[in-house]
Chains A and B, each alone.
Chain A
Amino acid sequence: MIGGYLGAGKTTLLNALLRNADGVRYAVLVNDFGSVNVDAELIASTGAQTIELTNGCTCCTIGGDLILALKDLVARDWAPERIVIEASGVADPQSVARQAACHPALSVQARIIVADAESIVERAEDKYVGGLVRRQIAAADTIVLSKVDLVDTGQLARLRGWMAQAAPNAPLIESAWGDEFAAELMLVHHSATDLHAPAPETGRHGHSAFTAMTFYSAEPLDRTRFLNAVEAMLPVVARAKGTLYFADAPQARCLFQLAGERWSLEPFAPSERVPRTRIVTIALAQREGQLEEVLRMLRRAEVRREELDARD
């Protein structure tokens, strides 16, 4: 279940999940006002089925949409393996999850609330929606803090503290707006928790078992220094993915992927929306310090304008 207030990035997360479907048959239930923003092409390519839930209230009519939609999905010949419910901005994740859990064929894997780093604190104080926003967060089992690239470090630190109060038991995953890898990180996170990953150490207010960091750069990278950074990643990083390009071949964009001990670099045809260099890394929370060092190494791999000029 993906919930959260309007504009927090629920649909972005959902789209990213579908992009990373890896052959899993998804069904998507969307329950929000306005157009369905789930990428239609994407759905076709993953075989995901989309159902819109359009009953705002179940108290006056006999029967809720959600229940009927779930019933219908489960009964299909080609039933989905995973169902994602994109709840409306005012939905109570607990209630949605409980309803879904009542179907004997279904179990609830995640109650994810997406919170907008820029506005969540203000929202939580709003005279109309404050109460429900706070309850949404409190009922989540995972919080995705979106748009973290739009707040400064001080704000982010305060947000982490605030979130630790608001949702002390929910792992916090930080994500930048439009971050297409966030969903993959979620998947890594969840499969890891399924496998009983070690409990997070204290410090960093006992949040996620995992920590994620993203490296952005407008500059090309030096190949040797980047490979050094990858060497340093191997014992630290559980999963990494990103696009980049090297100073020695500025026209050749690469897709970098790392999982466990294996990593690869492949040619990559970029879409315009992807920044020139961006690498998302995820590691166990207790390795946060080492991960920061990896990020510094990546930063040192940047080839700045002066260096390029010097090379010429």
Chain B
Amino acid sequence: MGKTGVADRIFFGGDVITMDDKHPTAEAVAVTDGKISAVGSKSDLMALKGPSTDMVDLRGQTLVPGFLDGHSHFINAVRLASWANVSSPPAGEVKTFADLIATLKAYKERLALKPGEWLMGYGYDVTSMDETRELTRADLDPHFPDNPVMLLHVSLHGAVLNTAGFKAAKYDLNTPTPAGGMTARMPNSTEAAGLVMEHSFLPIYMVMPTPTEAQQLDGMKAAQELYASNGYTTCQDAPMEPPTRPLYHKAADQDRLYLDVVGYVNWLEFPQVLESGAEPFKAPYKRHFRIGGVKIIGDGSPQGKTAFWTKPLLTPGPSGEKDWRGEPNVTPEDLNSVVKLAYDKGIQVMTHCNGDATIDMMLEAHEKAGAPVGKRTVIIHSQFMRPGQLDKYVTYGFIPSFFTNHTFFWGDVHVENLGKERAYFLSPTASARKRGIRFSNHSDFAVTPLDPMFILWSSVNRTSRSGQVIGPDERISPEDGLRALTIDAAYQYGEETRKGSLEPGKVADLTILEKNPTKVDAAAIKDIKVSETIKDGKTVYKRA
């Protein structure tokens, strides 16, 4: 029981998962002035009911703490807000070209596009569709003769365009394929068919319209709607692109933010930003925005083979290299100096490390900075670790933010590239739990969908696209999986005394799930929908 007095809202009538170790479940939660005022039995909480109290009957649904985004790129949601989602399940609904065209048509109507205006889509990936060939402009042209169409490939490294799209991009259909490019051609023709990838895509990328500041500020609304509809109440952008730092402050000043957004400064501009005093590094939220610290990008991605490992891959590198181990994205000298600088100033460090060699570099940087404790240094992805590195995480208090969605999206690819032993140890959640390490689990949106129940499902099941269990020993319980989306994610942000569990005095950030993920069949976790999201006691999303 919390303080007495009349509650603004009382939630009851369903399971309550508190994520508070002392009282893991409850019957009801009361909210007063944006804070949780009481958690307990329904009968006890009825004492807080007044005439103005909004009684929220969960009707058998499940109340959990609002989710904290362990790691994603909020700005992508801002950008994609006015784009059609042409992804295939589980990221979207598009299974066939007919679905895709229907989705685009609906979008065109919704946005009331005039002739000549770009119709943009994202998430195109024919390998996840029930189709046997790539989409071409011949499929799109009859439906969209007057609007340039560009559908960004799921990898973000290419797109499909219609004829009007190529024309608007001033792209000659007979442009030769450049080195490092891929241009699909029409059958028996030298003309570009629609799909352009990698270097073939760059000339188009260069002429693509860039959103204005006003458009991006407007996009903040749709972006928050997307996060809220997925049950998130705290979102992340790490690293912020330098031009978008002021954008966040502007959005906050104009009261456009209602979810909490934490931005991390890009390490490449960190010394200048620090010196100029441009960013309030250790200040609390101001109108829902705060600077979390500095984000360093240590290496690339494992599926792109640009992560940095100590042992070579079993398959050739991205350009056919033998014994390919990938490369770091930062020199040890620069890494050491940023880590030291941030530690000296008491600023949180968040480093993207996918391969074990990059993790070695980060551990060394920490040691060279005097191996301090209590810094809550976050290692984003911690994807391909060696078991011994987890022990060092314990010693140094590193917080891994794992990415178990990889088991589904690229698990099979990782087995092929790295072999079972290494692939099965990707995002080693169970091994981390055994050592008492607190970790979060993330979507890396727009790399994978934001859906927290999909993330939870992947940490509990670790099933790949082909049905292979990627590391049976690293599966965790739904309870532990939930910690990584709530209380332990709050710990990562240094906000565990305010958020992440349902306890009196904490911020009333709540999410209502259609079903209880700890009670449904493990395989069905991913089908659970978010019904409602509550930020500071107010409903910010309600499923139609």
| Chain A residues at the B interface, C-beta cutoff of 8 Å | 5-6, 31-35, 52-57, 59-63, 65, 67-68, 70-71, 89-90, 92, 95, 98-99, 101-104, 128-129, 131-132, 135
Contact = CB atoms under 8 A, between A and B. Distances in A.
A134 to B, nearest CB: 11
Interface string B93-113: 000000000000000000000
A52 B267 CA distance: 13
B177 to A, nearest CB: 11
Contacts of B468: none
Contact of B178 (A65, A89, A102): A102
Main secondary structure of the interface of A (DSSP, over half): loop
Contacts of A52: 242, 269
Main secondary structure of the interface of B (DSSP, over half): mixed
B446 interface: yes
A60 B306 contact: no
A135 B321 CA distance: 11
Contact of A103 (B206, B333, B446): B206
B334 interface: yes
Nearest to B273: A54
22 contacts: A5-B331, A32-B268, A34-B271, A34-B334, A35-B271, A35-B272, A53-B268, A57-B352, A60-B73, A60-B444, A62-B156, A67-B206, A89-B331, A90-B328, A90-B330, A90-B331, A99-B199, A102-B203, A103-B203, A128-B308, A128-B361, A132-B328
A48 B21 CA distance: 61
A102 B73 contact: no
B180 to A, nearest CB: 5
A142 B39 CA distance: 69
Given A56-B267, A68-B210, A132-B328, A98 B179 contact: yes
Q: Pick the most buried of A5, A54, A65: most chain B CB atoms within 10 A of its CB.
A: A54
A128 B334 CA distance: 13
Q: Pick the most buried of A95, A99, A131: most chain B CB atoms within 10 A of its CB.
A: A131
A67 B444 contact: no
Contacts of B205: 63, 67
Interface in B150-168: 152, 156
Interface of B: 73, 75-76, 79-80, 152, 156, 178-181, 199, 202-203, 205-207, 210, 239, 241-242, 266-269, 271-272, 296-297, 300-301, 304, 306, 308, 325, 327-334, 337-338, 352, 357, 360-361, 444, 446-447
Contacts of A34: 271, 334
Given A89-B331, A99-B199, A128-B360, 14 more contacts: A35-B272, A54-B266, A55-B268, A57-B300, A59-B156, A60-B352, A60-B447, A67-B206, A68-B206, A68-B210, A98-B199, A103-B206, A132-B327, A135-B327
Contacts of A33: 267-268, 271, 330, 334, 337-338
A37 to B, nearest CB: 12
Contacts of B325: 131
A100 to B, nearest CB: 9
A102 B334 contact: no
A56 B301 contact: no
Contacts of B272: 35
Contacts of A54: 241-242, 266, 268-269
A135 B268 CA distance: 23
B267 A62 contact: no
A67 B325 CA distance: 27
Contacts of A135: 327
A61 B78 CA distance: 12
Nearest to B301: A59
A52 B242 CA distance: 10
A63 B78 CA distance: 14
A42 B219 CA distance: 40
Contacts of A53: 268
A65 B241 CA distance: 9
Given A56-B330, A128-B328, A61 B241 contact: yes
A61 B206 contact: no
A6 B331 contact: yes
A32 B272 CA distance: 12
B223 to A, nearest CB: 13
B446 A129 contact: no
A71 B207 contact: yes
A129 B202 contact: no
B206 A71 contact: yes
A98 to B, nearest CB: 5
Nearest to B205: A67
Nearest to B272: A35
B206 A62 contact: no
Contacts of B80: 62
Contacts of A104: 203
A277 B190 CA distance: 61
B202 A67 contact: yes
Contacts of B202: 67, 99, 102-103
A54 B61 CA distance: 45
A102 B266 CA distance: 27
A67 B203 CA distance: 9
Contacts of A95: 180
A101 B80 CA distance: 28
Contacts of A5: 331
A102 B199 contact: yes
Contacts of B447: 60
Contacts of B152: 62
Contacts of A129: 328, 331-332
A34 B336 CA distance: 13
